Structure 1
Amino acid sequence: MRTVDAAGLPIGDDHPPRIMGVLNVSQESPYDPSVYDDPGEAAEYVDTELIGEGADIVDIGLESANKKFEVLSAEQELDRLETALQTIDSVSGDAVFSIETRYHEVAEAALNGGFDMVNDICGFADPMMPDVCAEYDVAVGKMASPPDLERPGAVEDVDDIYEALFQNGLTDKTIVDPAFGGWSEEKTLKDDRETFRRLREFRAIGQPILVSINRKNFLRELADRSTEEALPVSLAATSMAVERGAHVVRTHDVAETRDAALVGNEFARERVRDETVEELDVTTVREATRHLTNTESSPDSGSTVSRLFALDVPAPARQSLTDAARNTAAITADTGEKVLLGGPVSTLLELTERVRDPPALADALDGVREGCR
């Protein structure tokens, strides 16, 4: 996993999760507490509510990307940039300042005016964006999006999101964002939940991961909460996201999100990692497949990921399974009430196909097969 330097702020596995606070200078933005059009008031908000509460990065948006609103042109965004530039000039606290945009012209003007980082909500749909970011040697958040400057984020399937993050390449300082939220009519809450469930797969890209899940609909629906009531579900998801490999969390609730991220980081899986060895964060076959896909040998991921199951079956069935597993890569242990079955996924799948008697064992092995998918 690459460590990205964002204006002196290291982002990656060997560093604490970074909190990205949000300021909007667009009246269309849906979260009123973060919206300001007066630079002085905006700077005070940044100093007290963002940096003062623990934000490492301040992300300033010039427009709302909500699908209900018309997309601004680069010229219209540039008209609003002056407010953002005046704001960061008036901030007394120390943070990395990120400009949220989709246009390379806006990114370049912002970087020339004092911004440190770019947050591209169209995922390099503007093909000149990576060149600008590389030229200025800045970190850039790259949100999964179709190659369309008119409408970002309309990517539903997790596999398509993964591929979208590669469009027009990656810079050395790219931070990938799988894009949660209602960016399009096509993307459903179920799509978001599946993306969150499979978040570890994006670690295979090898770049730090940014998530923006604060008070999002796919979490609110689970607890039947309004936006105002959705902080608890956001914090629960934040800890889970960091535990699953997220490095930057974008939020309107800085202090609370910081604490939740620290909990997730503290209890993340411990992995071997030194100058020569990095144990990859892999818990499923699909995660392993992501890492193996681009290797020259492309070994069977089923032979590299193991599972362990407890089967509650009668004694004769436990003995049959023990006999069938003998001389394979699978392991069994009879506890007297259940039999433990473990081993590489490919071996377990082979057993589920070969062992079909007695029926009670066959039924249990069907469950094993489901768990190996």
Structure 2
Amino acid sequence: MRTVDAAGLQIGDDQPPRIMGVLNVSSESPYKPSVFNSPDEAAEYVDRELIDEGADIVDVGLESANKKFEVLSAEDELDRLDTALETIESVSGDAIFSIETRYHEVAEAALDGGFDMVNDICGFADPKLPEVCADYDVAVAKMASPPDLERPGAIEDVDDIYDALELNGLTDKTIIDPAFGGWSEDKTIEDDRETFRRLREFRGYGHPILVSINRKNFLRSVAGRETEEALPVSLAATAMAVERGAHVIRTHDVAETRDAALIGNEFSRDRLRETIDGIAVEELDITTQREAERHLDRYNAADAAADDSVIRTFELTGLGVDSREQLLNTVGETPVTAVSGASDNALVLIGTPSGFKSLRRRITGDSSRLAATVERISERCC
């Protein structure tokens, strides 16, 4: 996993989770406490509510991405940029300033005016935007989107999200964002939940991950909360997201989110990451075969390699004597390990996905119940 340098702020596995606070200079934005037209008032808000509360990055939005509003043109965004530039000039605190835009012209003007990084919610649909970021050598957050400047984040299936992040490539300083939220009419709560469950897969790109999950509907609906009541579910998800590999958390609730992120970081999996006599070693954060496949995609490796990359353990109880004997005899012909205890009707099976596939192929005979059980285990672990 690479570490991205965002104007001196290091973002990566060996760094604390970074908090991205939000400022909007767009009257359409739904979260009114973060919306300002006056640069002085905006700067005061940034200092008091974002930087003083622990924000490492301040993300400035020029327009609402809400699909019920018309998309602003690059010229429209440029007309609003002056307010953003005046604001960051008036801020007294220390933070990295990110401009949220989908246009390379706006990104370039913002970087020329003092911004430090770019947050592209259209995922390089403007192919010149990554070129600008590379030329200026700045970090850029890339949200998964179709190749359409008017449809940010409008992707549902997790595999399609993963593929969308490949649109127009990645710069050396790209931070990827899997696009949580109702960016399209077709995207469902369950789509977001599945993306969150599979968040570790996005580590396969080898780039830091940004998540924007603050008070999102896919979390609120779990507890039956309205937006105003949804801070607790956001904080729970923040800790989980960091534990699963997120590096930047975008939020309106800076202080609380920072604390939740630190908890997630403290209890993340302990993995080997060292350089030994010039050889860098990283134990990959892999818990499922699909996560392994994502990492191995970088090596154009065959699926068989992913089959051997994780170990799964299952306990079976309620086996009859014949089924237990058949299973023990068959396991000896496969890479699966069987551990039997004091109880004659219980076994623990330990193996890789490929091992359980091998066991499934070998289970035959009269015990259809056993065959169905092994079939289900093989499906589950693969």
Q: What's the secondary structure of 2:263's corresponding residue?
A: helix
Say if 1:296 and 1:193 are closer, same or farther in 2 by CA, change over 3 A: closer
1:372 paired to 2:381: yes
Query: How much has 1:315 moved relative to structure 2?
Result: 5.1
Query: How much has 1:327 moved relative to structure 2?
Result: 3.8
Question: Alignment partner for residue 308 of structure 1, among 306, 313, 317?
Answer: 313
State the partner residue of 1:183.
Answer: 183
Question: Alignment partner for residue 295 of structure 1, among 299, 304, 314?
Answer: 299
State the partner residue of 1:45.
Answer: 45
Question: Alignment partner for residue 332 of structure 1, among 338, 361, 379?
Answer: 338
CA distance in 2, matches of 1:286, 1:206: 15
State whether residues 311 and 364 of structure 1, in contact with CA within 8 Å, keep that contact through their aligned partners in structure 2.
no
State the partner residue of 1:341.
Answer: 349
State the partner residue of 2:5.
Answer: 5
Deviations 1:247-269 (A, max 9, x none): 00000000111111111111111
Q: Which runs of 5+ in 1 are unaligned?
A: none
> What are the residue-to-residue correspondences of 1:126-137 with 2, within 5 Å?
126-137=126-137
State whether residues 313 and 361 of structure 1, in contact with CA within 8 Å, keep that contact through their aligned partners in structure 2.
no
Query: How much has 1:63 moved relative to structure 2?
Result: 0.4
Deviations 1:79-138 (A, max 9, x none): 111111111111110000000000001011111111000000111111100111011110
CA distance in 2, matches of 1:73, 1:8: 31
Single out whichever of 305-314 and 60-69 deviates more from structure 2: 305-314
Q: What's the secondary structure of 1:336's corresponding residue?
A: coil
CA distance in 1, matches of 2:118, 2:247: 16
- What's the TM-score, normalizing by structure 1? 0.97
Q: What's the secondary structure of 1:167's corresponding residue?
A: coil
Q: Which runs of 5+ in 2 are unaligned?
A: none
Say if 1:297 and 1:214 are closer, same or farther in 2 by CA, change over 3 A: closer
- What's the TM-score, normalizing by structure 2? 0.95
Single out whichever of 167-176 and 326-335 deviates more from structure 2: 326-335
State whether residues 18 and 56 of structure 2, in contact with CA within 8 Å, keep that contact through their aligned partners in structure 1.
yes
CA distance in 2, matches of 1:297, 1:363: 31
State whether residues 25 and 63 of structure 2, in contact with CA within 8 Å, keep that contact through their aligned partners in structure 1.
yes
1:320 paired to 2:326: yes
CA distance in 1, matches of 2:301, 2:141: 31
State the partner residue of 2:284.
Answer: 280
> What are the residue-to-residue correspondences of 1:190-209 with 2, within 5 Å?
190-209=190-209
Q: What amino acid is aligned across from residue 379 of structure 2 in structure 1?
A: E
Q: What amino acid is aligned across from residue 145 of structure 1 in structure 2?
A: S
Q: What's the secondary structure of 1:60's corresponding residue?
A: strand
1:69 paired to 2:69: yes
> What are the residue-to-residue correspondences of 1:1-373 with 2, within 5 Å?
1-275=1-275, 276-298=280-302, 300=304, 301-314=306-319, 316=321, 317-337=323-343, 338-356=346-364, 357-373=366-382
Query: How much has 1:358 moved relative to structure 2?
Result: 2.8
State whether residues 210 and 248 of structure 2, in contact with CA within 8 Å, keep that contact through their aligned partners in structure 1.
yes
Deviations 1:289-344 (A, max 9, x none): 11122424425111222211011133523332222111421111112342100111
Q: What's the secondary structure of 1:36's corresponding residue?
A: coil
Deviations 1:132-162 (A, max 9, x none): 1011110000000111111211111111111
State whether residues 334 and 358 of structure 2, in contact with CA within 8 Å, keep that contact through their aligned partners in structure 1.
no
Deviations 1:40-61 (A, max 9, x none): 1111111111001100000000
State whether residues 313 and 339 of structure 1, in contact with CA within 8 Å, keep that contact through their aligned partners in structure 2.
no
